[in-house]
Structure 1
Amino acid sequence: MRYDEEFLSIPHVVRRAALRFGDAPALVDGDRRWTFRELEEGMVAAVKAAIALGIEPGDRVGLCAPNSAEWILAALGIHGAGGIVVPLNTRFKARELSYILRKSGAKAVFASSFLGNDYIADLTSADPGLPALRRTVSILGPQGAAGQSWPDFLRAGEAVPSSLVHESIDRLTPDDISDVMFTSGTTGHPKGVILTHGQSLRAYGWMSQEYTFTSADSFLVIPPFFHCFGYKAGWLASLIHGVTVIPMAVFDAGRALALISEEKVSVLLGPPTIFQDLIGHPERSRFDLSSLRVSMTGGTTIPESLIRAMKSELSFDIVMSAYGLTESTALVTTTRIGDSEETVAATTGRPIPDVEVAIVDSEGQEVPLTDPGEILVRGYNVTRGYWDDPEATAATIDADGWLHTGDVGRLDKAGNLLIVDRKKDMYIVGGFNAYPAEIERTLLTYEPVGQVAVIGVADERLGEVGCAFVVVKPGHEASGADIIAWAREAMANFKVPRHIRFVEALPRNASQKVLKDELRTSFEREVTP
């Protein structure tokens, strides 16, 4: 089934869901609940308000808020008016947000007060001439420095005829741009990834069908909406199949366990840390988790023991792993139902339909099967390019349409993709290439190691060596010498970390990726006289 043809656009999904699922629960946010019909009504009201605000087809609009019903309604309002959503990372500082709003040419910004931040006030102080500040809406919490509160925004749209809303939605096509998703900017400034309605609907319509989403399911969406994991694989995939969406603004393992029990949550996707925290919560046994059914985890190394624990301790029937990056609509490969626990833990599965994966060397030539190389992706899921950055686009997507991911991987004989590491994270030990993700995966099989991150650090004799930052499992003990001695038995000598640092927790961003730059800074600060 080609979801881009069936649904046309993201607002079309809501229309169709209202027809198919009617009074079934669509959205639960605290004590507030919407049926699918009510969600469509909320979308129409938000589109009216966006039109009244002056949002026109092709306009970019920033959206900076935690996971919430208002985030979804604001995005639907922008889309329905023909606008392009620019999701903003709630962990970013004002200058970072200002750069993205200027680079995208945003006409307006929707934001909230969150974790003690009034984003619009901060933006006004940092960049008072920012064009997006001429139209500002506070979608959660107090109005603060915003020009309109959410209720005022909706009231302003009441005079707009409903006919204009439906005409606007009817004009949308699968090829229209739905989002400009800015990368995290780990090197240089963030780049705006252009994605269309059709790309997202086709990819996540297929994924959610493969993962057996049904209208009987409810989905606690923990990954942030400013990332495809929470937005596309989360609430959008749910609406396609009539799944009830339960957004969670800030992850708290105890509260998540309570919500799973209270709302009979059956679908829960996220990075491994979420599931490790749920499994390790001291009061987990108090909660009824029997409703949990489907999960997918990825984005980092996954120990096989975690896959088993997700089934035995959290009651999941289906556990999947997947791989993607924003430039590929965040979906390239995924395991399938029936794959072994070893396959789910060690690989990210096979390419999704109509998407190609190639593994190439530094000269762009395909490497022999099972050899590592850079992962290239080609298909409908590849971004149309970076916003207002043709040079970066040309450097990333070649003339044959291949997306150069910058990730290193290899294919096994069954066609499963194994992620070795990021090219930029690789370090060289005495002439040998060392890949942190591979080393981390091995270290996680040592019983005392709960979490680990490996970086390359300078070494006078070998050029670079590994330093492992380790979080020890509760109830276990291990010394640095213990870990190094175990590693010498488990891996080639050049891969063995020469330094071990024990930490209470690994620094992570809002998407739960480990901030390795912070680890490098910590190590350098320690060794610098």
Structure 2
Amino acid sequence: MTTTYLDLINRGAKAYPNRTAIVYRDQSFTFREVDELSSRLANAMSASGIKQGNCIALLLNNGPYSVPVDFACVKNGINRVPLNSRLSVREHTKMLQETGAQMLIFGSDLADHAAALKAEMPELKCLGLDSKLEGGVDLAEAARTQSTEAPEITVQDSDVVATLFTSGTTGTLKAAQHTQASYAAICKNVLMNVISPEHDDAMLHAASLIHASGVFVLPFWLRGARTVIMDSFDPTLYLELIAKEKITAINLVPTMLQMLLGHPQVESTDASSLKHIIYGASPMPRPVIEKAMEIWGQERFWQYYGQTECPLGMTVLRPEDHHDDLLGSCGRPCVDVELRLVDEAGNVVPEGQPGEILVRTPITMKGYYNAPELNAETFTEDGWLRTRDVAVFDERGFLHMKDRTSDMIITGGYNVYPREVEDVLMGHPAVAECSVVGTKDEKWVEAVTAAIAVKPGSQVTEAELLEFISDQLASYKKPRKFFFIDTIPKTAVGKLNRKALRDMLATAS
């Protein structure tokens, strides 16, 4: 038995009962208040029929319930499935069906979306937070009369605590499962390699807490430090909070950093409290990181490379290495991570030669849900995880990313997989062929770009295509650029040739 996620939650609650744990808008909550609320919620879940081992979907935007609900699920031994609120009802329905989740906990601002899901899945039991559907339950109201003592459960290292959807590098929807042990290991990974918070530290969260940003909550909880939560990213308020709350750590995707750098108050904001400016999720354009270091100082910047299957840090680029050609690297492997590069036959490649990244570490997922064949492809017999990313080690031991074995697009820190967008566009009666690629973009790093070949005798406009896909794809997946061309480039065997298309579009734009 190793340290579990539940152990770490209990340790933080016991060690710092009277310190401020969570700040949201004009509200603040002590460690004791968060701990007691999470226990009440856990007991209310039990009273609503949720049992240890159940798979429960969460539809929550950032807010005061984000952390207590997560902790409540852990205290109940629940396998939670966080749903990105930016996705469509169709996408969420598929996720619920694939995981077999029969219950949904939703925030009051997402009640209409929950009702739409209920209409698609009448058997779905929906529990609101300060809200309820007709004939449903307000979990927050029910929790007020529950005990502040957590349910008595016994957990195992291998118990699944979270099922995180990712399209991975294949473009196929997959559900990565993390356990009591792997979540605890992720917390340790952060503490050992990226940031070791002190009592008076505070981290500002504007990115969704169901993504990488949420990984930092538990390390701060363990050290008695504050978690400051925003509903969403607003550059003006973000800068104001850095000064007001004396924020010591922030986590940014490139698009967020670019928006801050373009803000008129960025240089006048008092950011003297900042110690860690952490970034990852997608490659950082060199001009952006250079300008950011010019304003805030090289000594504050930390980059990580990870995946949903292996969060947060496989490698880290430390502040002292943010210079010259190393700005294009992912850093060195973390101390608790084994990493090697192999060729197609599985042989370790020589230094300076490209190879697929394989990783072995306690932070790795248990596996994909209900996907034995995919798991067999993803894990080697001796326990290494295949990332499907291609990189090179230089003579100093720094990892330089070269390519992905997929055509995944990273736009504003979000992963978009061309096939999914193409399948929707091909449903339009005027579209004969289409291909989707990422093209360079100053704001989004990569813009989702669609090349469309129209059927003979048909006509369609960009506006009509956007209207057609409006309720089928999340906003960040929708193409930001359209090109109408006669034919889509293909390989000799008739497959879409995305490289040739990217080259063609680069010339045309």
TM-score by length of 2: 0.78
Question: Is the contact between residue 216 and residue 243 of structure 1 (CA under 8 Å) also seen in structure 2?
Answer: yes
The 1:405–1:467 alpha-carbon spacing in structure 2 relative to 1, beyond 3 Å, is: closer
Q: 1:138 aligns with which of 128, 140, 143?
A: 128
What SS does structure 2 have at the residue aligned with 1:118?
helix
1:394 has 2:376 as partner: yes
In 1, the alpha carbon distance for the partners of 2:388 and 2:111 equals: 34
Q: Distance in 2 between matches of 1:296 and 1:161?
A: 35
Q: How many residues align?
A: 437
Separation of aligned partners in 2, 1:151 and 1:58: 22
Q: Aligned pair in 2 of structure 1 residues 58, 467: CA closer, same or farther (>3 Å)? A: closer
Picking from 207, 213, 220, the partner of 1:238 is 220
Q: Is the 8 A contact 1:359 1:374 kept in 2?
A: yes
Residue 221 of structure 1: aligned partner: 205
Unaligned runs of 5+ in 2: 419-434, 445-473, 489-509
Tell me how far apart the structure 1 counterparts of residues 442 and 289 of structure 2 sit (CA, whole Å): 19
1:128 corresponds in structure 2 to 122
> SS at 2:402's partner residue?
strand
Quick one: which amino acid aligns to residue 206 of structure 2? I
> Matches of residues 219-368 of structure 1 in structure 2 within 5 Å?
219-227=203-211, 229-232=212-215, 234-314=216-296, 317-336=299-318, 338-342=320-324, 345-368=327-350
Q: Corresponding residue for 2:53?
A: 58
For the pair 1:174 / 2:157, whether they are aligned, the reply is yes
Is 1:203 the counterpart of 2:198? The answer is no
Superposition deviation, residue 71 in structure 1: 1.8
Name the CA distance, whole Å, in 1 between partners of 2:326 and 2:142: 46
Higher deviation after alignment, 74-83 or 103-112: 103-112
Q: CA deviation at 1:188?
A: 5.2
Deviations 1:425-451 (A, max 9, x none): 39xxxxxxxxx99xx9xxxxxxxxxxx
| Pairing partner for 1:39 from 22, 29, 34 | 34
CA drift of 1:186 comes to 7.2
Cα separation, partners in 2 of 1:56 and 1:117, compared to 1, 3 Å: closer
Q: Which letter does structure 1 place at the counterpart of 2:345?
A: E
Richer in helix (by share):
1
Higher RCO by CA contacts (8 Å cutoff, separation 6 or greater): 2
Structure 1 gap ranges (5+): 427-435, 441-452, 456-463, 474-512
- Secondary structure at 2:65 match in 1: helix
Partner Cα separation in structure 1 for residue 158 and residue 43 of structure 2: 23
What RMSD over aligned residues (CA atoms) do the two structures have, in Å? 3.2
Percent of matched pairs sharing the same residue? 28
Q: Relative to structure 2, which stretch is displaced further, 245-254 or 209-218?
A: 209-218
Cα distance in 2 between the residues matched to 1:60 and 1:354: 30
Distance 1:343 1:145 in 2: 59
Structure 1 residues 293 and 42, CA gap change in structure 2 (3 angstroms): same
TM-score normalised per structure 1: 0.75
Cα distance per residue 1:127-155 (max 9 Å; x no partner): 324xxx22x22226x43458222432313
Q: 1 CA distance for matches of 2:338 and 2:94? A: 34
CA 1:279–1:188 in 2, change beyond 3 Å: closer, same or farther? closer
CA distance in 2, matches of 1:373, 1:416: 14
Shift of 1:117: 6.6
| 1:391-431 alpha-carbon deviations (Å, 9 max, x no partner) | 111121122212111111111112221111211239xxxxx
2:22 and 2:29 in contact (8 A); partners too = yes
Aligned to 1:25: 20
The one-character-per-residue Cα deviations of 1:173-192 (angstroms, maximum 9, x if unpaired) are 43322111111477554211
